[in-house]
Amino acid sequence: MFMVTGGAGFVGSHIVSALNARGTSDILVVDDLTRGEKFKNLATCQIADYLDKRDLFDALDSLETPLTAILHQGACTDTLESDGRYLMENNFTFSKRLLAYAQREQIPFIYASSASIYGKEGRFLPEAPNERPVNAYGYSKLAFDQYVRARIDRLQGTVVGLRYFNVFGPREALKGRMASMVYQVFRQVREGGVARLFEGTDGFEDGEQRRDFVFVNDVVEANLFFAEGPARRGIYNLGSGVSHSFNDLARLVIARLGAGSIEYIPFPAGLEPCYQSLTEADLTSLREAGFAREMTSLAVGIEDCLQAWAPEISATEGVGSSS
């Protein structure tokens, strides 16, 4: 049985769907459905069991079916969250306890890390000199990466951290302000005809800040590649390997929707010190680990998303803002 933590979330529910597509429904989803509308991400999926994350550790020793792999996607992903204790409880301590269980039971453990770890350095090799997070969220992710890295020579079986860059795709509507810039621009243009981009920062001109946008299907495939393959241990970047400016993104969306314009808005006061104006994954170590999949281009990914996003927006009106 596969365990997917955060299984009702964006990436987690796509992993569940992908396992279903491979003929697997023996899946344990772990999540927190306090926000009940998250059920929509799993409504078309087949699972064998569900646990609230608060009940997980009490239930682990009495699971009916042995676990095949743990795909740990659950986390607080709000980059603007200021409660450091909350972030460390969710993103560090919870992960540490789950890793200890995986090691004890010899279960492959694949977890979601984050490109926010790199901060504003502009260097994206997964090495300590490049890791300078500029917010508490990024630090909580780095702390667990450091915990894994300090024990890497003593760990058994597969233990893999995947540093997600800017993931986008269907089922983002419930992410609110943490939805990808791709989704936010699509929604802005579709609803108001205008893509609102930030004025220049960190030496970048208006709208020229750059992001590595990685399609969610590629992220799913990387998770399953490591979960199902031979034992590997390491921390790898997971992006497309190519960055695009926000202007490029807006033009792609406007061209596809057939109308729209770009407006530049002032940068929010106080945000610039903890804002990444550039992300671009170095995929060298990921390729060396054997993940050879050709990453989906931004244009193709947007095309795949458009039909899914329109009904998602309609279904979640009033649930939360995407900007």
Q: Give me the chain's average pLDDT, please.
A: 93
Who wins on pLDDT, 157 or 271? 157
Distances (CA, A) of 173 to 156, 267, 269, 311: 38, 24, 26, 10
Average pLDDT over residues 287-303: 97
Q: Give the sign of the dihedral formed by CA 144, CA 148, CA 151, CA 157.
A: positive
Instruction: Identify residue 295 by its one-letter amino acid code.
Output: M
Kindly provide the b/e burial profile for residues 231-240, where b requires at least 16 CB atoms within 10 angstroms of the residue's own CB. ebbbbbbbbb
Q: What is the pLDDT of residue 320?
A: 41
Q: Is the pLDDT of residue 275 over 60?
A: yes
The tokens for 305 are 């998303």
Q: What is the pLDDT of residue 306?
A: 86
CB of 210 within 8 A of CB of 162?
no
The tokens for 237 are 């970047």
Largest CA distance in the chain: 57
Average pLDDT over residues 270-282: 91
**Which of these is catalytic: 137, 139, 236, 275?**
137
CA distance 43 to 153: 41
Q: Is the pLDDT of residue 182 over 70?
A: yes
Confidence of residue 312 (pLDDT cuts 50, 70, 90): low
Assess whether 96 carries a catalytic annotation.
no
Average pLDDT over residues 254-273: 91
CA distance 316 to 179: 13
Report, at the CATH architecture level, how domain 168-210+242-279+296-315 is classified: Alpha-Beta Complex (3.90)
Average pLDDT over residues 257-276: 90
Q: What is the pLDDT of residue 238?
A: 98
Angle at 199 between CA 194 and CA 201, to 5 degrees: 145
Q: What is the pLDDT of residue 177?
A: 83
CB of 93 within 8 A of CB of 85?
no
Q: Is the pLDDT of residue 310 over 90?
A: no
pTM of the predicted protein model: 0.94
Q: What is the pLDDT of residue 273?
A: 83
Distances (CA, A) of 17 to 75, 252, 275: 20, 28, 33
Q: What is the pLDDT of residues 69-104, one digit of tens each?
A: 999 999 988 888 889 999 999 999 999 999 999 999
Q: Is the pLDDT of residue 323 over 50?
A: no
**Percentage, residues of the chain above pLDDT 90:** 85
List the chain domain ranges: 2-165+215-238, 168-210+242-279+296-315
CB half-sphere exposure, 314, CA atoms < 13 A? 5
Who wins on pLDDT, 19 or 316? 19
Assess whether 137 carries a catalytic annotation.
yes
Q: What is the pLDDT of residue 111?
A: 98
**Which of these is catalytic: 40, 50, 175, 264?**
175
Report, at the CATH architecture level, how domain 2-165+215-238 is classified: 3-Layer(aba) Sandwich (3.40)
